[in-house]
Amino acid sequence: MKKVYQDDQEKQQAARQRHFNIRLNVFFFSAFIIFTVIIVRLAILQFVDGPSLQAQESSLTVKKVPLTPIRGSIYDASGARLAYSTPVQSLYITLLKDYSTATGSKNRPEALELAKKIVKVFDTYGDPVAGKMTADGVVEAMDLDSRQSGGFAPRRLKVGLSDKEVAYFMEHKADFPGVDVVEESVRNYDKDTVAVQTIGYIRKFKGASTSLDKYKQLRSTNSDDPGLQYTDIEDVGFDGLEYQYQDELRGKNGYKTIPVDPRNMADGIAEITPPEKGDDLHLNINKNIQLKTEQAIIDQLDWLHNHPVSGKYHPNAQTGFAVAMEVNTGKVVAMASMPDYDPNVWRTGSITPSAYEAIQNVYQNGTIRSFSSGQKGVHPESVVLMGSTVKPLSVMIGLNEGLFTTSTPYNDTGVAYFGKNDSSRVRNSQGHAYGYLNTPAEAIRESSNTFMVDMIGERLWRKSGSDGITLWDKYMKDFGLGVLTGVDLPDEYKGYREYVNEKETSLSRLAYASFGQQGKYTTMQLAQYAGMLATRGKRMEPQLVDKITDFEGKVVKQFKPKVLNQVHFKSGYWDEILKGMATDVREAFKGFPYDFARKTGTSTQTIYGNGKKVDVDNGVFIAFAPRENPKLAVAVVIPEGGFGAYSAAPVARKIFDAYDYEYGLDGVPKKTLEAANKAAEDAGTSNNH
């Protein structure tokens, strides 16, 4: 019995061991499965879900605040800086606590005390000439209630710190929590006020985004890339080249990466990613030619006020506009809208009401837009009727439509009748009767209104009826009149085509259009038109910018001449109209060493306003030189200046002279010859001694 009992004990022990081993294996296997699942899950979190989770965490705890880049510069053709940004040191504060009236009032005394400390530094180390800041002013700039900016966004306290202020704040950073010295820029413009309306000006993004569609869209679709985000206090181009090339000039934001706590307040040390400087514009405008052009207009306006033209003075000639464009390249070397102003009034991105009132009638570009001169009473705008400058094109239309030939004569009696029972009539300027004109070229040279009415306006109507208006419109647009020139500036005016007004008969409209009384076009359009006559049919795109370079001087974009459209006429037709472009301007061009093609215009314009009706004579002039192998086309407009030969032509002469000096109308710059002659004289004097 004892042996059996012992055998049972051994069997029981073996059974228990087997059960234990099984349970242990199950445990280890279960543990292995669990740890395998955990490891796989961790791997998924790390390698699959990790990046997105990390981005979510970052967006919740880190804010990237844009830092405005340094704006690119604008240079003239010789390398003179016309617009540039200079660095200044500004003081910013990032609020590290809630100082708001609603929820952080207990912390507010701390902010007020900090403001007093900051003002004390300003008073001690700041520029004594600059205006004093008060503690209340600093508190207002702190925006403690976050009315202007979010809790984490830096607030600007002062622009233009002195070296001593910068040094003090940098050395005592621990005493001014959240305060940083940040380098910014201020926009500066050439003190000689060079082509200021063409260069344009800047405004703050906050104001611009409520006015211009470009910035409205940027605000509504602000980029996720902090480098492309705009801040309210950032300066942006608002007009001219500053606006046209905003994206290139701006550069790219840097940003400050700021850790924030759940209250949206800064919490931790910020990291700085520096901004990228904007690209630079290099213009075709030559500062020396531009200044000569501007001064020529001012001098001519003064001359018209003090010298009678055709027996009367012209005191209301208060504005003048000129454009000079190379005929083969489209490069605009001068573009003047006078009077001008000092654009540095905009340099901080804003302007006082009194300063705006002083410039409101001169800050726009009158060479591409139409606006009032600001004079009291009834006066024309900056865009006027083109007058007799249309006559070369009128004759070309007549020739091409078969209305007459290059040898068709015409007897000019001084008056032309048209309409039912000859009820309407047009006279030549001052009632002149030019007599027997052998060719259409003579009609252009003598500026015969009657030829244009009889031989073009009325004959075109007899040939095509009301369709003559459509045909006329096509010719005008082919020559860039009534369409955009393509100049690289915003808000260009197409001009006003009065001949499409159906209140008058088609015959009447064609008759008056034939000698320049039915179309108002910009000075830029007239310059492009003159260049098209010079090239015998190529309409070149006007180009203000020659190239764009980055901050290292590498060319980012090089602009090349561009032909917008081209017209083709018989060579004999071109010869005829260009032969006629020989109007008498001997007084203005006395001693001019080149043969040149030109056409004067005196557009008589009826102005209505304030219950008044006034007829005024505007001076218009187009020309290109030299006649053979032309280099430069010029257009000048002097509203209320009287005859173009006396009001506008003298300005053009000075522009041609300036270009000849800088570049040479014959390809040889006269300043180079002048320098060579002076060197030879100096060498001769030295040898004599």
Tens digit of each residue's pLDDT (9 = 90 or more) over 429-488: 888 999 999 999 999 999 999 999 999 999 999 999 999 999 999 999 999 999 999 999
- Which whole-number Å values give the CA distances from 639 to 5, 321, 512, 599, in the listed order? 135, 9, 20, 17
Confidence of residue 149 (pLDDT cuts 50, 70, 90): low
Q: Lowest-pLDDT range, 58-67, 119-128, 417-426?
A: 58-67
* 492 shares its domain with 610: yes
The reply to whether 32 falls in a domain is no
* 90 shares its domain with 201: yes
Average pLDDT over residues 104-131: 90
pLDDT for 683 beyond 50: yes
Tell me which residue has tokens 């704040």. 169
For the chain, give the longest Cα–Cα distance: 163
Whether the CB-CB separation of 205 and 230 falls below 8 Å is answered with yes
Confidence of residue 685 (pLDDT cuts 50, 70, 90): low
pLDDT for 55 beyond 60: no
The string of pLDDT tens digits covering residues 225-247 is 777 788 887 889 999 999 999 99
pLDDT for 5 beyond 50: no
* 300 shares its domain with 217: no
Contacts of 586-594 with C-beta under 8 Å, sequence gap 24+, read 587/645, 587/646, 588/645, 588/646, 588/649, 588/650, 588/652, 588/653, 589/649, 589/653, 592/653, 592/656, 594/625, 594/626, 594/627, 594/656, 594/660, 594/665, 594/666
Final residue of a domain: which of 283, 316, 336?
Answer: 283
The predicted pLDDT at position 425 comes to 93
Final residue of a domain: which of 252, 283, 314?
Answer: 283
Tell me which residue has tokens 């501007």. 294
What distance in Å separates the CA atoms of residue 642 and residue 314, rounded to the nearest whole number? 7
Whether the CB-CB separation of 132 and 124 falls below 8 Å is answered with no
H or E segment to which residue 320 belongs: strand 320-326
What distance in Å separates the CA atoms of residue 323 and residue 680, rounded to the nearest whole number? 36
Q: Which tokens is 474 given?
A: 């096509």
Angle at CA of residue 246, ends 192 and 481, nearest 5°:
80
Average pLDDT over residues 290-314: 95
CATH number of the domain enclosing 86: 3.90.1310.10
H or E segment to which residue 619 belongs: strand 612-625
The reply to whether 132 falls in a domain is yes
Q: Percent helix, strand, coil in the chain (nearest 5)?
A: 40, 20, 35
Average pLDDT over residues 121-137: 88
The reply to whether 367 falls in a domain is yes
The string of pLDDT tens digits covering residues 545-594 is 999 999 899 999 999 999 999 999 999 999 999 999 999 999 999 999 99
The predicted pLDDT at position 151 comes to 63
The reply to whether 543 falls in a domain is yes
* 390 shares its domain with 273: no
Question: Residue 666: how many CB atoms within 10 A of its CB?
Answer: 14
Whether the CB-CB separation of 548 and 557 falls below 8 Å is answered with yes
Q: Which tokens is 433 given?
A: 């009767």
pTM: 0.82
* 322 shares its domain with 241: no
pLDDT for 9 beyond 90: no
Angle at CA of residue 254, ends 281 and 549, nearest 5°:
20
Confidence of residue 14 (pLDDT cuts 50, 70, 90): low
What distance in Å separates the CA atoms of residue 326 and residue 335, rounded to the nearest whole number? 12
pLDDT for 6 beyond 60: no
- Which whole-number Å values give the CA distances from 94 to 100, 138, 178, 194, 269, in the listed order? 14, 13, 5, 40, 11
Q: Write the DSSP symbol of residue 429.
A: G
What distance in Å separates the CA atoms of residue 644 and residue 193, rounded to the nearest whole number? 27
| CB burial string 595-620: b at 16+ within 10 A, e below | ebbbbbbbbebeeeeeeeeeebbbbb
Domain count, the chain: 2
Confidence of residue 262 (pLDDT cuts 50, 70, 90): low
The predicted pLDDT at position 264 comes to 60
* 274 shares its domain with 320: no
Cis peptide before 593 (omega within 30 of 0): no
The predicted pLDDT at position 1 comes to 46
The predicted pLDDT at position 76 comes to 98
The predicted pLDDT at position 476 comes to 98
H or E segment to which residue 678 belongs: helix 670-688
Three-class SS of residue 35?
Answer: helix
Tell me which residue has tokens 């002039």. 621
The predicted pLDDT at position 234 comes to 85
pLDDT for 128 beyond 90: no
* 483 shares its domain with 334: yes
Confidence of residue 2 (pLDDT cuts 50, 70, 90): very low
Average pLDDT value over all residues in the chain = 89
Task: Please return the burial class of 408, using the count of CB atoms within 10 Å of its CB with bins 0-12, 13-18 and 19+.
Answer: middle
Domain span at residue 637 reads 287-672
CATH number of the domain enclosing 524: 3.40.710.10
The reply to whether 585 falls in a domain is yes
List the one residue out of 541, 508, 511 whose CA is nearest residue 527.
541
The reply to whether 683 falls in a domain is no
What distance in Å separates the CA atoms of residue 431 and residue 387, rounded to the nearest whole number? 16
The string of pLDDT tens digits covering residues 504-537 is 999 999 999 999 999 999 999 999 999 999 999 9
Average pLDDT over residues 667-689: 80
The predicted pLDDT at position 688 comes to 60
Confidence of residue 54 (pLDDT cuts 50, 70, 90): low
> Looking at the DSSP assignment, which residues form a beta bridge with residue 74?
83, 281
List the one residue out of 83, 316, 349, 281 whose CA is nearest residue 197.
83
The reply to whether 510 falls in a domain is yes
Alpha helix segments (H runs only) across 44-82: 50-61
* 377 shares its domain with 512: yes
Tell me which residue has tokens 């007084």. 587
* 484 shares its domain with 604: yes
Amino acid at 34: I
The predicted pLDDT at position 286 comes to 98
What distance in Å separates the CA atoms of residue 393 and residue 111, rounded to the nearest whole number? 73
> Looking at the DSSP assignment, which residues form a beta bridge with residue 597?
624
The predicted pLDDT at position 682 comes to 74
Q: Which tokens is 370 given?
A: 């139409």
* 267 shares its domain with 291: no
The predicted pLDDT at position 677 comes to 84
Contacts of residue 493, Cβ cutoff 8 Å, sequence gap at least 6: 368, 369, 370, 383, 522
Is the alpha carbon torsion for 197, 200, 202, 208 positive or negative? positive
Average pLDDT over residues 207-231: 83
Q: At what angle do helices 163-171 and 108-125 cross, to 10 degrees?
A: 140
The predicted pLDDT at position 42 comes to 72
Half-sphere CA count of 657, side-chain side, radius 13 A = 15
What distance in Å separates the CA atoms of residue 301 and residue 647, rounded to the nearest whole number? 8
Amino acid at 364: Q
* 256 shares its domain with 370: no
The better pLDDT of the pair 147, 55 is held by 147
Is the alpha carbon torsion for 408, 410, 416, 418 positive or negative? negative
Angle at CA of residue 665, ends 664 and 668, nearest 5°:
35
pLDDT for 687 beyond 90: no
* 305 shares its domain with 331: yes
The string of pLDDT tens digits covering residues 60-97 is 577 666 677 889 999 999 999 999 998 888 898 988 88
The reply to whether 209 falls in a domain is yes
Task: Please return the burial class of 327, using the count of CB atoms within 10 Å of its CB with bins 0-12, 13-18 and 19+.
Answer: buried
Half-sphere CA count of 661, side-chain side, radius 13 A = 13
Question: Residue 668: how many CB atoms within 10 A of its CB?
Answer: 11
Whether the CB-CB separation of 636 and 680 falls below 8 Å is answered with no
